[in-house]
A and B are shown apart, each in its own frame.
Chain A
């Protein structure tokens, strides 16, 4: 729900409650006022009757004296204390066919030695009419309020919230790897200024942290490569001296370790780069070409490993991916299929516009398939692999909003990537 909608709803709820209470008050105030006026009028009428009585006019006892007027004049047997009583009475209205509350004023008078009870009653307006009038008025007010609130709402969301929406849009468009912070813009509203200032500080910090992290990852990799290059060079120089077989073997094993270290640091740097979104791309890469070219390059390996490759590759399958990433993704997938294969094994490759599937024969997996894509998770702990290949694949897939699925059935390992 939009903030402004919620605001209007709250406002209208409160308005309805206030108007409801106000309606009750209005009803009683109007009714009180009307009754008071009526009482004055009835008092005057009683005074007139008294005057007429003093002048010797006779009224018939009982109701409906003087025709249409609800006047009762009754002579009492004994003298009374002169007083006036004002009260309500329910009178059956023939016209409305219901009891109607009327004002009744009664007076006890001693006139020319006789005692009289003079009473008159009536209603200027029916109480239903008052209720109706009050409700009508209130509904009009409510209607105007709703129109007003919605109008204000539109204006607020349109004009008043403009800087806010602008800031939101800027935050949405903010991309860390572009290394541009969101500059605070001056607006006429303090809250928005505070917000913009805060956003500027946050993005500045994020950008500088990102830069540091990136530099660190790059430097760490760089700093590691130089000593590794030195070690490697020294080993090569050493291998040119007169050595026994045992010494050669040590050197060879050292060279392997150095190579592994350097691959490890390269792979970690690559993972960091992918995670830092350094490979942003708007162009399409022809995956069919990538696959076919690599198969050509791998041809000898495949033959030397006694593997058979069965392909079903559709041409011109293009996906949105950085060309470097597409290459790394495929190379890792394929090498994975080669490495975990068996003697005289088979690799099947299927590529069409929907998906890329690579499956290979292999031994039973020792690792839970769900954990397979985690870092340093190896199918065989003893193997020379560094255990980052699949996490790199996963990272690339995630980064490009694709999905990957691994399954194992009857000695077949199958990795499926949905390209849609």
Chain B
């Protein structure tokens, strides 16, 4: 998968780049409007990440130009502005998703995969992790082609793990992914453990290996080879 990251902050760019490169993506970067414009006009990408506030221009303008030449490219807006106006105008311009800084890298990774799945018409709707397969269209999980009954939150959790294989996901990360802003004000994240326990049990009962492993009781890791992606 080929990505373009439009972000002017070098440190942030490096974070994203490092994280995504480990997923095996080919990443290109642009640090201002001119460079971004040049790249989207010259090449095609699967997904483009766009920061709204960039030097020499506006991220939303990059989005507009991109949509006019390559409407099928997946786009995710990154903004420090949590303002509704930007979100609405970004999505109206055809962005596929919107992330507010400070976002989590596993979250970004999961969103990129989701956008790519949605936009890649020829691509697979099935996310695989060995014997476990997750159908992102019907939101169904099966082990060895045998369906497993999961709740919507359990499905989200599993997909999140599958999108971030072999990475440590802290409880905070997982809680925010599943409950978004609602988790903001809660101190006790034990309910994450409850959910993970349930998912593990269901998968093991269905005959799958136990891939989810606790990391020093702080976070969790989905241990699997990356072949499925």
Contacts and interface: CB of A to CB of B under 8 A. Distances in A.
Given A225-B80, A226-B12, A255-B170, A236 B104 contact: yes
Contact of A249 (B82, B106, B179, B216): B216
A298 interface: yes
B191 A385 contact: no
B102 A236 contact: no
Interface string A225-262: 11011111110110110000100110010011011001
Nearest to A299: B153
Interface stretch (A95-103, A144-152, A331-339, A346-354): A331-339
A384 B215 CA distance: 23
A297 interface: yes
B89 to A, nearest CB: 16
Contacts, number: 114
Given A236-B19, A258-B102, A259-B172, A229 B184 contact: no
B102 A384 contact: no
A339 B187 contact: yes
Given A232-B104, A249-B216, A335-B185, A304 B191 contact: yes
Contact of A233 (B15, B53, B168): B15
A256 B184 contact: no
Interface in B164-211: 167-168, 170, 172, 179, 181-182, 184-188, 190-191, 194
B9 A226 contact: yes
B97 to A, nearest CB: 16
Contact of B82 (A228, A266, A339): A266
A339 B187 CA distance: 8
B182 A297 contact: yes
Interface in A280-307: 297-298, 300-301, 304-305
B27 interface: no
A416 to B, nearest CB: 21
Interface in A199-239: 218, 221-223, 225-226, 228-234, 236-237, 239
A277 to B, nearest CB: 15
B219 interface: yes
Contact of B102 (A229, A256, A338, A385): A229
A74 interface: no
Contacts of A362: none
Contacts of B11: 230, 233-234
A235 to B, nearest CB: 9
Interface SS majority for chain A: helix
A304 B167 contact: no
Interface residues of B, number: 41
Interface string B89-110: 0000000000011111110000
A266 B215 CA distance: 30
A329 interface: no
A263 interface: yes
Contacts of A255: 170, 172
Task: Report which residue of A226, A248, A389 has the largest number of chain B beta carbons within 10 angstroms of its beta carbon.
Answer: A226
A332 B18 CA distance: 37
Given A230-B102, A237-B15, 20 more contacts: A221-B81, A226-B101, A228-B102, A229-B12, A229-B80, A230-B15, A232-B103, A232-B104, A232-B105, A233-B11, A233-B102, A236-B19, A237-B19, A239-B219, A248-B218, A249-B218, A259-B172, A300-B191, A304-B194, A305-B191
Interface of B: 9, 11-12, 15-16, 18-19, 22, 53, 80-84, 100-106, 153, 167-168, 170, 172, 179, 181-182, 184-188, 190-191, 194, 215-216, 218-219
Interface of A: 218, 221-223, 225-226, 228-234, 236-237, 239-240, 245, 248-249, 252, 255-256, 258-259, 262-263, 266, 269, 297-298, 300-301, 304-305, 324, 331-332, 335-336, 338-339, 383-385, 389
